[in-house]
Amino acid sequence: MSLLIQYTLIYASVLFLVALGGCFSEHSGVINLGLEGVMVMGALGGALVMKYMSGLAALPMMIMVVLGSIVFGMIFSLFLAIAAINFKADQTLVGTAMNMLATAAATVFVKALNMMHDPNNVSSTIQYIKQKKAISVHLGGFELNWFMVIAILALAASVVILYRTRFGLRLMACGEHPQAADSVGINVYKMRYAGVLISGLLGGLGGIAYITAGVSEWKFENGVAGFGFLALAVMIFGQWKPVNIALAALLFGLLRALSNVYTGFHGLVALGLPSTLYNMLPYIISLLVLAIASTNSRAPKAEGIPYDKGQR
């Protein structure tokens, strides 16, 4: 049971961070379908820090890992920002390209690194067994990690920023009616850049949180197995509101955790269901949830539409 709670919290914090990233981007009017790729890049950034700065003490290590993933995530999200905001490109296509690009680039890069150190090592895996200890926190019987703390801080910060600050309200205006926002002197392009960069920041953090959840090495060939898209489902289920997104993330985190630990529950094992069913569960539930939540969608009105100053 404690293992279930532990995994639920870990996965929920990952999903929440990434979904919140998507939320900021969409409130500014840009659909970030490249979150999956942003996660891979953030994971790569954090993993590289762990690989090359393994000598650091716990706290500096933690800070550097977070910084590494944030920087990688934000730089990578610029790919979306430039294409979608400056060049008015199709956001779905750009997102798809980014997802493919991130996994391919990370694989090529990590394989090249591994081969440089040891010519016989052609894997795309980075190990961080020792370094991972800096991230985890032991609290009673639980092994938690710092990303949960970050997730809670992010929740509080996002509620304040989105609804209580000038920046947040302006950001949301750009996603609802950019022409109106522009008419009162808000720079729509700047706001959208901010939205996308914040999604890169949070997505990158989510990426490193994901690859340190329960495992101590990561094979970059596998990307992040659709987690970025699950996060988007969480965001839609949460109706683009931070608090609701947090609750949705808890539900999906629980489902995802079940596939890791269901063998520990006699009741579930006795059902005799195939293990693949538990793997599929988050995806199936998210489809159901989307079918329910999408009809009365509270999506930002102008999301996905490139902003054209001359348009009425």
Q: Is 263 in the site for another protein (CB under 8 A)?
A: no
* By the rule CB under 8 A, 94 interacts with another protein: yes
Instruction: Name the DSSP letter for residue 83.
Output: I
| Backbone phi, psi, residue 144, to 5° | -105, 180
- The closest of 14, 32, 57 to 245, measured between CA atoms, is 14
Q: Report if residue 101 touches another protein, rule: CB under 8 A.
A: yes
268 binds another protein, rule: CB under 8 A: no
Separation of alpha carbons 146 and 61, rounded Å: 12
Q: What is the x/- site pattern for another protein, positions 286-305, by CB under 8 A?
A: xx--xxx-xx-x--------
E strand or H helix that includes residue 127: strand 125-127
Taking the complex as a whole, the smallest distance from the CB of residue 225 to another protein amounts, in Å, to: 8
Q: Binding residue for another protein (CB under 8 A) from 58, 100, 159, 169?
A: 100
What spatial distance separates the first Cα and last Cα of the chain, rounded to whole Å? Answer: 57
Size of the chain in residues: 312
The residue within the footprint of another protein, chosen from 59, 78, 93, 152 (CB under 8 A), is 93
Give the Cα separation of 36 and 22 in Å (integer).
11
Distance CA 9, CA 254 (A): 8
Is residue 302 within 8 Å of 171, Cβ to Cβ?
Answer: no
Nearer Cβ to another protein, position 184 or 291?
Answer: 291
3-state secondary structure of 274: coil
Give the number of other CB atoms < 10 A from CB of residue 42: 38
Interface residue with another protein among 229, 240, 262, 307 (CB under 8 A) is: 229
Question: Taking contact as CB under 8 A, which single stretch among the options 57-65, 184-192, 206-214, 277-285 is the one that binds another protein?
Answer: 277-285
User: Least separation, in Å, of the C-beta of 268 and another protein?
Assistant: 17
Residue from 205, 181, 213, 239 nearest 46 by CA: 205
Give the residue, chosen from 16, 72, 76, 79, that forms a contact with another protein under the rule CB under 8 A: 79
C-alpha distances out from residue 296 to 22, 62, 75, 174, 302, Å: 19, 41, 34, 21, 16
Q: Is 32 in the site for another protein (CB under 8 A)?
A: no
Stretch of residues binding another protein (CB under 8 A), selected from 63-71, 83-91, 136-144, 159-167? 83-91
271 binds another protein (CB under 8 A): no
> Positive or negative, the Cα torsion across 13, 15, 18, 20?
negative
Under rule CB under 8 A, residue 199 binds another protein:
no
232 contacts another protein (rule: CB under 8 A): yes
Closest CB to another protein among residues 147, 278? 278
Provide the binding-site residues for another protein, judged by CB under 8 A: 33, 79, 83, 87-90, 92-94, 96-98, 100-101, 103-105, 107-108, 111-112, 115, 119, 122, 124, 221-223, 225-226, 229, 232-233, 236, 274, 276, 279-280, 283-284, 286-287, 290-292, 294-295, 297
